[in-house]
Amino acid sequence: MIISAYQTHIFILIFIYIILAVSLNLALGYTGLLNLGHVAFYGIGAYTSALLAIEGMPYLAAMIIAGLFASVFGYLLVTATDRLKGDYLAMATLGFSFVVYSLLLNLREITRGAMGIPGIPKPSILGLTVRTNDQYLIFVLLICAISVFIMYRIVKSPFGKLLEANRDNAVCLRVLGKNTFGLKYKAMMISAFFAGISGSLYAHYITFIDPTSFYISELILILTIVIVGGLASIKGSIVATAVIIYVPEILRTLDLPSSVLGPVRQALYAAILIAILMLRPRGIFGKVDLE
Amino acid sequence: MILSCKDIYKSFGGIKAIDGCSFTVAEKKITGIIGPNGSGKTTMFNVISKLIKPDSGTIEFKGQDVTGLKDYELAKMGVSRTFQDVKLFQNLTIREHLQIAMSDTDEKLLSNIFRGKEGDAQKIKEVMELVGLDKPLDTYGNDLSYGQRKLLDLAIAIAKPHTLLMLDEPVAGVNPRLRDSIKDILRELNSRGESILLIEHDMNFVMDLVDHIFVMDAGKVIAEGAPEEIQNNPCVLEAYLGGSEEGTKCL
């Protein structure tokens, strides 16, 4: 490969986070669901896929079941929070993230709790095992391209326009004869499905997961990507993922002690977010205002 | 008769917004609801279109009891409405507004993924011409003036498949020229056999346009009749002006 092993690692993470960010944008930016439970779907997908693959299930089946299982939780979350919107929905979905984190930590018989799950197998498809990171990069790029293409088609379709209409004015949409609950649960299930897929890709790449990989700090990172890229912009989420994941890596060239590197990285995220909110309130390519 | 409301009651806390309101709307006619501010007209509209659940009472549409239906289910049956404060999708274009209003298949996810934007260009053109909205179809709802937003709101309600058109103050805040234009549009729709129910404060507009009027005050119908009957009705004068001895018997 023409890129270094380290750059390969960064690109793999970028493609995983692109799926995660675009899927959050589908719910948050396009449909107007202030969903802070996305990191929980990511975790559910990762654990489901890891546990099924360890039990011997073929990778593709484990990945798809992981996505479907996450989308079932998406449906349950929309059903439970149907009457909530805005800040109240945000708080309820954030609570969902905490509950799932707590379950991952405490259901030790299934998840091994804080000890995490080691030895997650690398994907094997039709007898071909994705062994090296270079091969994984090609694999994750392929899954990312398919996922983003499907989500792009959805938001550009007449169904996608209904999602945007729901975000702008749900009452007006209902008096036009559209079932807004049906739209919301479909959008959330699609969003959760792809978050589950990205969780699966992450788990089988790192080969070890524990609950801290799916905690609130991860949610803040994904939200930052979506806000910086702009609501209701797939292009924005892709560009912002590359910027937010790649730019902090430049810090490594500064030869900072590891105890300083972490906080400086967090400060850099904050600085990018504040700069965007002040200079471009709609994000880089955003179509709608943050409310 | 296309719509019938019988003994509708609705309270918000201790305030009776609708207090036993009953009326019927004739098919292929223009029916007006008038009344002073706070008389319950818009609440009644919201009850009919299922945005507010009544405490009691029944609503029939095209002979079917629709009291228990959800708002979008009634809309699918053929009730189309506008709002007093214009409600648009601010980040969608005029074309997208009309496509959403016209489509009855856009809620299906799988069959839509690989389809482009749908919509009958000819029908969109006809509706735009009917309401006289002379703006490019790619203009966003946010970029329209108040009068243009009113016209787009009307265009959406017309474009949506319907058998009853409910308009909440269609000429509120518009200039006299646009008001006359809207009157002509409604006459044209009525001449094509449309049933229209409207709320309006502009008495000249109402008296000149509608076939039948219901007057509401304090959440109930206090008078009804043809425009010329209503203009001299003591109950109506009492509701608007107060002080008439004869009129106080109405409430």
Eight-state DSSP code of residue A29: I
The stretch B201-218 carries a mean pLDDT of 93
Residue whose pair of structure tokens reads 């008296």 in the numeric block: B207
Shortest distance, CA A33 to any CA of chain B (angstroms): 16
| Averaged pLDDT for residues A143-169 | 95
Task: With a cut of 80, say whether residue A155 has pLDDT above it.
Answer: yes
Token output for B115? 């389809």
CATH number (domain holding residue B246): 3.40.50.300
* Distances, alpha carbon A66 to alpha carbons A62, A96, A122, A127, in Å: 6, 18, 15, 21
| Structural contact between residues A49 and A111, judged by C-beta atoms closer than 8 angstroms | no
> What's the token pair of residue A197?
């897929």
Which residues have C-beta within 8 Å of that of residue A94, sequence separation ≥ 6? A36, A37, A219
Q: What does the alpha-carbon distance between residue B97 and residue B86 come to, in Å, rounded to a whole number?
A: 13
pLDDT at residue B247, rounded to an integer: 53
- Chain B contact present for A161, CB below 8 A: yes
Note down the domain range covering B238. 3-94+162-250
Phi, psi (rounded to 5 degrees) for B9: -125, 140
ipTM: 0.90
Dihedrals φ, ψ of A132, to 5°?
-90, 165
Q: For residue B15, what are the β-bridge partners?
A: B12
Whether the pLDDT of residue A44 is over 90: the answer is: yes
Q: How many residues does chain A have?
A: 291
Stretch 183-202 of chain A: residues touching chain B, C-beta under 8 Å:
183, 186, 190
Residue pair B51/B82 in contact (Cβ under 8 Å)? The answer is: no
Residue B190 lies in a domain: yes
Q: Which phi and psi (to 5°) does residue B136 adopt?
A: -60, 145
User: Is A176's Cβ below 8 Å from some Cβ in B?
Assistant: yes
pLDDT at A253 over 90: no
Quick one: tokens of A66? 């992981």
The answer on pLDDT for B244 being more than 80 is no
Residue B110 forms part of a structural domain:
no
Q: Which residues of B touch A154 (CB under 8 A)?
A: 109, 113
Instruction: Give the pLDDT band of residue B240 (cuts 50, 70, 90).
Output: confident
Three-state SS for B146-198 is HHHHHHHHHHHHHHCCCCEEEEECCCCCCCHHHHHHHHHHHHHHHHCCCEEEE
Q: Is A239 a residue whose pLDDT tops 90?
A: yes
Using CA atoms, how far apart are residues B49 and B75, in angstroms rounded to an integer? 7
Q: What is the C-alpha to C-alpha distance for residues A225 and A24, in angstroms, rounded to an integer?
A: 10
pLDDT tops 80 at residue B139: yes
Q: How far apart are CA A269 and CA A262, in angstroms?
A: 11
**Length of chain B in terms of residues written:** 251
DSSP A225: H
Question: Is pLDDT of A1 > 60?
Answer: no
B71 and A232: CB-CB below 8 Å? no
Q: How confident is the model at residue B214 (pLDDT cuts 50, 70, 90)?
A: very high
The predicted structure's pLDDT at residue A257: 85
φ, ψ (nearest 5 deg) of residue B202? -75, 100
Half-sphere exposure of B218 (CA within 13 A, CB side): 9
pLDDT of residue A157 exceeding 80, the answer is yes
Q: Are A168 and A38 in contact (CB under 8 A)?
A: no
Predicted local confidence at residue B250, as pLDDT: 58
Q: Is residue B138 part of a domain?
A: no
Pairing of strands B3-12, B56-61: antiparallel
Percent composition of chain B: helix, strand, coil (DSSP 3-state, to 5)? 40, 25, 40
Residue of A nearest to B75 (CA): A177
Say if B42 falls within a structural domain.
Answer: yes
Any domain includes B157: no
CB contact under 8 A, B160 and A176: yes
What pLDDT is stored for residue B118 in this prediction? 56
| pTM for the full predicted model | 0.90
Per-residue confidence band for A153, with pLDDT thresholds at 50, 70 and 90:
very high
Residue carrying structure tokens 């992450």? A202
CB-based contact B80:A174 (threshold 8 Å): no
What does the DSSP 8-state code read for residue B27?
T
Averaged over A61-77, what is the pLDDT? 97
pLDDT band at B87 (very low <50, low <70, confident <90, very high): confident
Measured CA distances, A91 to A84, A264, B118 (Å): 10, 28, 37
Q: Please give the pLDDT value at position A146.
A: 97
Report the share of chain A in percent with pLDDT over 90. 77
**pLDDT the model gives residue A222:** 94
Give me B164's structure tokens: 């009853």
Would residue B212 count as lying in a domain? Answer: yes
pLDDT at A191: 98
Q: Which of B95, B112, B165 to mutate to test the interface with A (most CBs of A within 10 A)?
A: B112
Number of domains making up chain B: 1
Closest CA to A269 of A233, A231, A219: A219
pLDDT of residue A126: 82
Could you list the beta-strand ranges (E) of B3-145.
Answer: 3-12, 15-25, 30-34, 56-61, 64-65, 79-81
Residue A240: CB atoms within 10 A of its CB come to: 28
Distance from CA of B83 to the nearest CA of A (A): 9
With CB atoms and an 8 Å threshold, state whether B100 touches A161: yes
B167 CA: distance to closest CA in chain A (Å): 12
In B, what residues contact A, Cβ < 8 A?
Answer: 49, 51, 70-72, 75-76, 79-81, 83, 87-92, 96, 99-101, 103-109, 112-118, 156, 160
> Is the model's pLDDT at B113 over the cut of 80?
no
By Cβ distance, the residue of B51, B72, B115 closest to A157 is: B115
Q: Are B2 and B62 in contact (CB under 8 A)?
A: yes
Supply the pLDDT for residue A273. 85
Q: Does A291 have pLDDT greater than 70?
A: no
Least confident span in A156-165, B111-120, B138-147, B169-178: B111-120
What is the pLDDT averaged over residues A28-44?
96
At residue A278, what is the residue type?
M
pLDDT for A172: 94
In a domain, B113, yes or no: no
Q: Using the beta-carbon criterion (under 8 Å), do A168 and B88 form an inter-chain contact?
A: yes
Contact A159 B96 (CB under 8 A): no
User: Phi and psi for A124 in degrees, rounded to 5?
Assistant: -130, 120
CB B26 within 8 A of CB B2: yes
Distance between alpha carbon B55 and the CA centroid of its chain, in Å?
22
Rounded Cα distance between A33 and B219, Å, is: 36
Q: How far is B136 from chain A (nearest CA, A)?
A: 19
How far apart (Å, rounded) are the C-alpha atoms in residues B88 and A31? Answer: 16
Percent pLDDT > 70 in chain B is 94
Sequence-distant (6+) residues with CB within 8 A of A268 are: A247, A248, A251
Q: How far is B163 from chain A (nearest CA, A)?
A: 13
Residue A52: band (very low, low, confident or very high) from pLDDT cuts 50, 70, 90: very high
Q: Is the pLDDT of residue A251 over 90?
A: no
What is the average pLDDT score of chain A?
93
Most confident of A140-149, A282-291, B12-21, B172-181: A140-149
Token pair 């009891």 is found at B65
Residue with the bigger pLDDT between A194 and A290: it is A194
On whether residue B114 sits in a domain, the answer given is: no
A280: left (phi over 0), alpha (psi -120 to 50) or beta: beta
Average pLDDT over residues A118-133: 90
Structure tokens of A31? 């449909």
Distances (CA, A) of B201 to B37, B172, B205, B207: 9, 8, 8, 11
- Mean pLDDT, chain B, as a whole number? 90
Average pLDDT over residues A10-17: 97
